[in-house]
Chains A and B, each alone.
Chain A
């Protein structure tokens, strides 16, 4: 144009445009979701932080790693609760503290090395006794000590310091890796024996798995699987409706998956933990009132999908008590109980704080608003404080935050992945449990006894403990057994089960045609 300066700025703009165009190309096309009919496309709520097998009890990691990339010696059938053979074909209890596992023959790792008892022993040691803070170690083995020793190529002996009736179940969480795996630090991309192996992980964008041709079992339908991640549920659902993905998980009813949506029962149970040591919650009537004041039916109608329940473990978990009913919604009774307590000098006008956690389940804040509404109607004073995960964890875990936080109601959710109430009871209800704010000696005794029992007695003992908690302790207001929701494209057949959230088996996904 007129100015010399004006023309001077033109090359800048031009070069900027070229730069952008070039950069645009470099990103465009780098994301292969699409992949052809042989590729299964899955959209997750978040990217797995790592695929480290010994962190497989973390949901984000486990649902990609477990039973897809790596396998364990045993596996639990979620529908029946029975333990099935995996890399071990059978196991026997030699003594109270010793077990022998017979391992499957002809299994090879993705790197071509054979699966042996040495590898199994190495994997157990790596998961339970190493300096890498395995999540599995803390979650499954807690303070139990165990040693695994290879007897021969296909026989493994595991001994425990204390009697452990459910050791084979615990071992279903130990993902087996070859001895070439680094024992002292975490690996991001593990080698396993599973039906799929890692093909390419373009961080932030996608993770692609490829069918492992040397897999010992039946070859899965799809030659490859691509995982992508989107944080918004409605976007995940839209990807399935828009044929950009075949499976979308972690949906909420309002995400709009429509007729692609598939509901399934999970083992997640939502509950409120009460600070039974602080007034007015130290009075059992107030705690009962809290239970009566929560409209569980309303919650599952309006807020999240689920079934009201009265205990922390879902059906199919050892210890689940079929006779335990959810607390009914009885605002009248709640009000009366609070009034009685007040009449007896309980300080019911103390403000209770609901410690909520954003995103713990769909519409977490709304759920707490429902609870708050109910409690206020019962005559209590309640405020809500929604926190992020880390801040919330400080309230969940011992030692609890110092300072004057007053009596709290903690929004929490528990999913017993392992299928045995032992993984629930002690840490949540035991007086010294890591997530426990209050317990009684009587309950502690019941739990201890149940942990040592096995078979039908074990089931009965845990069921009794739940009943005792519900009738005599009332530390929690258990709300609902959550219903999971995923969206499935018409070209995939898949029956999700209660373990799907933690372990999504690609091999179970079949082509519809």
Chain B
């Protein structure tokens, strides 16, 4: 386990560097931010001064070197937009996204395991067909559509929930529900597929031959074997959430990292963008490692292979 952890952590360093490098250069391909931050009538001298002040006039390579040197000292630069340390802005936004993503994944996984197992228990039964149909529908509905409909129906028409914001538990319902739908739909299908395979495996027959109850058969024997593919997909979906629940954050006014990232792309706020990408990349690598560890935890064979 520890070997696996160490090996993965070490092998993540270079990719992380590549991500930082990629963001740094790609961001600078999107044009000079001076237009946005200087008055419309700014003179060339003002522009030059702006570039100099923000270190945008050096050769890119020098800029990158400086940036790396800063990052090593945990200095992520200053936001052009708000004149605040970029690291601060990112750290403020990240927990909001993380909580949203955490709740969403938790509910999606629990729901998908229950529904997916029920569907897989009798392949092609009515339950199965309904579950499959609904889940593939859920997986393909545009999220902003759901979000706005949710606001109109549950907040405006019925008045049950607040439209948006972050105050109170009720405010979580719509954002989480909106985010939930797609991962849930995908996961139900994955869990169902994996459970169909697992439930037809010989060891399930053996368990039945021992007189195990169906509950025990499904959740004690089959589920852990079906968990591996579901876990991988859940990991990918979680990555998607961490990397920006942009739409949901935008609509519900959730001060998360996705909104921050899109804003800083649109505002050419490079320092914030870089810090945000670096942090989410770190989180995603950590998540991937976590998924691998869970694989090892769930399956002794993986454990053995990893140790080898």
User: Could you list which residues of chain A lie within 8 angstroms of chain B, going by C-beta atoms?
Assistant: 1-3, 5-6, 8-9, 16-17, 19-20, 23-24, 27-34, 49-50, 52, 133, 135, 137-139, 142, 185-186, 188, 203-205, 228-232, 234-235, 238-239, 241-242, 244, 256, 388-391, 393-394, 396-397, 427, 434-435
Contact = CB atoms under 8 A, between A and B. Distances in A.
Given A28-B171, A234-B151, A49 B82 contact: yes
Contacts of B95: 23, 27
B220 A3 contact: yes
Contacts of B99: 20, 23-24, 27
Contact of B156 (A28, A137, A204, A241): A241
Given A186-B83, A427-B41, A235 B35 contact: no
B253 A24 contact: no
B38 interface: yes
A24 B170 CA distance: 11
B255 A242 contact: no
Interface of B: 30-31, 33, 35-42, 46, 49-50, 81-84, 89, 92-93, 95-96, 98-99, 102-103, 106, 148, 151-152, 155-156, 159, 162-169, 171-172, 212, 216, 219-221, 224, 250-253, 255, 260, 266-268, 297-298, 300
Nearest to B266: A388
Given A1-B219, A3-B224, A241-B156, A138 B40 contact: yes
A50 B89 CA distance: 13
Contact of A230 (B92, B93, B164): B164
A203 B92 contact: yes
Contact of A235 (B89, B171, B253): B253
Nearest to B216: A2
Given A5-B297, A238-B156, A427-B40, A205 B220 contact: no
A235 B251 contact: yes
A219 B102 CA distance: 46
A135 B35 CA distance: 12
Contact of A242 (B82, B92, B156): B156
Contacts of B84: 188
Contacts of A139: 39-41
A20 B164 contact: no
Contacts of A393: 35-36
A17 B251 CA distance: 26
B197 to A, nearest CB: 18
B106 A204 contact: no
Contacts of A235: 148, 151, 163-164, 251-253
A266 to B, nearest CB: 19
A388 to B, nearest CB: 5
B92 A204 contact: yes
Contacts of B168: 28-29
Given A238-B152, A390-B30, A1 B38 contact: no
Contacts of A142: 41
Contacts of A396: 35, 40
B179 to A, nearest CB: 14
A27 B81 contact: no
A205 B166 contact: yes
Nearest to B207: A2
* Chain B interface, DSSP helix/strand/loop, else mixed: helix
A28 B172 contact: yes
A24 B103 contact: yes
A234 B150 CA distance: 12
B174 to A, nearest CB: 10
Contacts of A28: 166-169, 171-172
Contact of B39 (A16, A135, A204, A388): A135
Contacts of A23: 95, 98-99, 102
B96 to A, nearest CB: 6
B250 A231 contact: yes
Given A23-B95, A27-B96, A228-B165, A50 B83 contact: yes
A17 B252 CA distance: 23
* Listed residue (A6, A20, A50, A390) with the most chain B CB atoms within 10 angstroms of its CB: A390
A390 B83 contact: no
A126 B95 CA distance: 38
Nearest to A186: B83
Nearest to B161: A242
A495 B59 CA distance: 53
A394 B31 contact: yes
Contacts of B31: 390-391, 394
A235 B169 CA distance: 19
Contacts of B148: 232, 234-235
24 contacts: A2-B212, A2-B220, A9-B297, A20-B99, A20-B106, A24-B99, A24-B169, A28-B167, A31-B165, A33-B165, A133-B39, A138-B38, A139-B40, A203-B255, A204-B92, A204-B96, A230-B251, A230-B253, A244-B164, A388-B266, A390-B33, A390-B36, A434-B41, A435-B40
Contact of B167 (A34, A137, A229): A34
B39 A137 contact: yes
Contact of A5 (B155, B252, B298): B298
Contacts of B251: 230-232, 235
A394 B31 CA distance: 9
A32 B165 CA distance: 10
Contacts of A232: 148, 250-251
Given A24-B169, A204-B255, A235-B164, 10 more contacts: A20-B99, A23-B98, A28-B169, A49-B81, A203-B82, A203-B255, A234-B152, A239-B164, A242-B162, A244-B164
Contacts of A24: 99, 103, 169, 172
Contacts of B219: 1
A434 B40 contact: yes
A490 B173 CA distance: 28
B35 A394 contact: yes
Nearest to A234: B148
Contacts of A230: 164, 251-253
Contacts of A6: 220, 224
Nearest to B253: A230
Contacts of B159: 242
Nearest to A21: B103
Nearest to B255: A204
A188 to B, nearest CB: 7
Contacts of B252: 230, 235
B147 to A, nearest CB: 8
B302 to A, nearest CB: 12
A238 B36 contact: no
A16 B104 CA distance: 12
A389 B224 CA distance: 50
B161 to A, nearest CB: 9
Contacts of B164: 230, 235, 239, 244
Given A230-B253, A232-B251, A239 B163 contact: yes
A389 B38 CA distance: 13
Contacts of B300: 5
Given A33-B165, A231-B250, A427-B40, A390 B35 contact: yes
